[in-house]
Amino acid sequence: MKLRSWSLLTNVPVWFEKNFSKQQLLILISAGVGLLSGLVAVLLKNLTYLIQSLLGGGYISNYHNAFYFIFPLIGLLLVYLFSKFILKKEIGQGITTTLYSISRRKGFMRRFQNYASLITAPITLGFGGSAGLEAPTVVSSAALSTSFSKFLNLTQASRTLLIGCAAAGAMSSIFQAPIAGIIFAIEIFSLDLTLASMIPLLVASVSSILTSYFFFGPDIILHTQLGEAFEISDVPLYIALGIFTAIASITFTKVYIYIFKKFKAFKSKFNKILVGGIILSGILFLVPQIYGEGYSTVNELLAGNHELVTKNKFLQDWSTTWMVILFLLLLVIFKMIATSVTIAAGGIGGIFAPVLFIGSMIGHCYGLVINALGITKLPVSVNQYTLVGMAGLMAGVMHAPLTAIFLIAEITSGYSLFVPLMITAAISYVITSQFQPNSVYTMELAERGDLVTHNKDQAVLTLMDIHQVIEDNFQVLTIDMNLEQIINEGVIKSKRNIFPVVDENNLFKGIILLDGIRSIMFDKSLYQEMTVIDLMQNAPDVIELNECKMKDIMKKFQETDAWNLPVVREGKYVGFISKSKLLTAYRQKLIEVTV
């Protein structure tokens, strides 16, 4: 019975292939991926809220105030124990893990990623970690989509597209913003903007948002009402806000990098968790407003409830506008530190929600300052600057200006803020990208040469595997050989016209070309006199396997005009890469990754 069931299961891909075209199959699967993304988003939200409600009341309500500060440490410790003793694998961080799967794992994600973030992200945030659920939702949804892809034997291009569908579905479900979800997938995952890719993304986004409506109805994360319409006289104000959010974006990125480097220096993971937990607990004890994602604080801000946002057990006098501004700026600083520490110490979560939190605080402060100083004839709608501030910081930190624009536009259920969003997001992105060429998501991958971008040529080179183009069918000569040995051990046995030379430790020393010895190879009087050292020459260039990426290799061939270049690993000979094989592999990969 089991064998028959397995046989039927394995025939499913064949049945789909016979009855559906490639495009029809992708559309059908994208609908399923969108449904799963919506369910993942609902599950993560509910699990996180459940933990938060248990910690905030019920049996431990009497002890909450006394032990509130230890919850983040407990959360990080639970994640560590789960990862080390149950999962026994490194979970990895959100969007970066997914991007790496596209560039280096041919669109396949590890099986444990189907459920790892579903367990660890709610623990991290529920216990007070300062991060977002968006990235864990994307990772879990993307991992489930690759399981579909693997079962149905889809191509690498289709797998990558379905990961984009999972990302679009996740964002669409969380924010009920289907257009922003699609743009997020295109911007962050560098998908091709074609009709073949747009339809599955659209289907996944719609499927996911319908799932969200089924569970949550029309309720959205951020609640706001727009004030007055945009006027041309406001342009300088939004330009200035773009500059301020760019400065904040650069600051956030630098703080994030700095804290990550400091935590990487810890040799003991337990010490890392201990230090991170203590820092988080201390910040949370001082300013509980940064607990978890922070959307409740943002909603209170949008509602104008400054007394709730600024409520603090240590300092009570926040009655004046300038004191409110000061407190909100303190929240910005604390949120930057807390988010970086949460993720660097081993917590599982993303930066999307913290970026919205910080952007809202900056935008709100900006609006309050305008009104306090009387810069405009009439008081401005502070809420509008709060929302535009979110877009500015998203555009700068995540290098996703279009996502920022459409997300805020959809959240506000209209496009009356479209022009201000475009102005601020564009300026923030342009300025930030000059100082930070890559976003927080991509900087690590870019440094390693593992980042796939919208540049098709560079993307194909990144996706290529260097090991698949190395040829090792060359006759290796040792440095102590004479001409007779070169002929007998090299020329006679080889079908190639180039011979690598190594020493007794297999360290690469140079090459001998057949054309270089052709005029003397039949002169037996030179057999014992001429040696490898006499005939050897330097290679036009050398490819270091541990350092060179495909982009570097292509550049070496272009600069040297060579047809074959030797490959070494830490100086030891590995093989050769030929230009012809490299170009053939490039063309093949281009076909594979094109939908």
pLDDT at 318: 60
Domain for residue 226, yes or no? no
- At residue 417, φ and ψ (nearest 5 deg) are -95, 10
Partners of 513 in the beta sheet?
Answer: 498
Q: How far is CA 441 from CA 93, 190, 257, 444, 455, in A?
A: 9, 13, 11, 8, 17
Domain for residue 514, yes or no? yes
Cα 182 versus chain centre, distance: 16
Same structural domain, 396 and 422: yes
Domain for residue 504, yes or no? yes
Domain for residue 379, yes or no? yes
Picking from 435, 457, 479, the residue at the C-terminal end of a domain is 457
- At residue 13, φ and ψ (nearest 5 deg) are -60, -35
For the chain, list residues with pLDDT below 70. 1-20, 56-68, 218-219, 225-228, 313-319, 414, 451, 453-457, 459, 591, 593-595
Same structural domain, 370 and 301: yes
> What is the C-alpha separation between 383 and 301, in angstroms, rounded?
8
Work out how many domains the chain is built from and give that number.
Answer: 3
Domain for residue 453, yes or no? yes
pLDDT at 81: 93
Question: Tokens standing for 541?
Answer: 């260039």
pLDDT at 15: 62
Cα 27 versus chain centre, distance: 25
Same structural domain, 260 and 346: yes
CATH number of the domain within which 544 lies: 3.10.580.10
Helix (H) or strand (E) holding 444: helix 443-448
Task: With beta carbons less than 8 A apart as the criterion, state whether 366 and 241 touch.
Answer: yes
Domain for residue 115, yes or no? yes
Burial of 589: CB neighbours in 10 Å, binned 0-12, 13-18, 19+: buried
CATH number of the domain within which 394 lies: 1.10.3080.10
Residues 6+ apart with CB under 8 A from 117: 44, 91, 94, 136, 137, 139, 140, 348
Same structural domain, 463 and 447: no
Query: For residue 20, how many other CB atoms are within 10 A of its CB?
Result: 14
3-state DSSP assignment of residue 105? coil
Same structural domain, 403 and 474: no
Domain for residue 265, yes or no? yes
Same structural domain, 257 and 387: yes
Among candidate residues 188, 171, 189, the one with its CA nearest the CA of residue 180:
171
Task: With beta carbons less than 8 A apart as the criterion, state whether 402 and 220 touch.
Answer: no
Picking from 457, 475, 497, the residue at the C-terminal end of a domain is 457
Among candidate residues 438, 350, 352, 346, the one with its CA nearest the CA of residue 393:
352
Picking from 410, 440, 457, the residue at the C-terminal end of a domain is 457
> What is the C-alpha separation between 383 and 366, in angstroms, rounded?
10
3-state DSSP assignment of residue 282? helix
Same structural domain, 249 and 158: no
Strands (DSSP E) along 377-466, which ranges? none
> What is the C-alpha separation between 105 and 100, in angstroms, rounded?
7
Task: Determine the angle formed by the axes of helices 195-216 and 156-175, rounding to 10 degrees.
Answer: 40
**Domain of residue 317, residue span:** 232-457
Same structural domain, 307 and 339: yes
Strand order in the sheet with 470-471: 470-471, 572-578, 564-569, 543-544
Task: With beta carbons less than 8 A apart as the criterion, state whether 187 and 403 touch.
Answer: yes
Domain for residue 180, yes or no? yes
> What is the C-alpha separation between 81 and 85, in angstroms, rounded?
6
Burial of 195: CB neighbours in 10 Å, binned 0-12, 13-18, 19+: exposed
The region, left, alpha or beta by phi > 0 then psi within -120 to 50, assigned to residue 501 is: beta
Partners of 543 in the beta sheet?
Answer: 567
Question: End-to-end alpha-carbon separation of the chain, Å?
Answer: 39
Same structural domain, 300 and 192: no
DSSP 503: -
Same structural domain, 182 and 244: no
> What is the C-alpha separation between 416 and 421, in angstroms, rounded?
10
Q: 């806000």: which residue's tokens?
A: 241
Same structural domain, 211 and 314: no
Same structural domain, 203 and 259: no
Helix (H) or strand (E) holding 369: helix 352-373
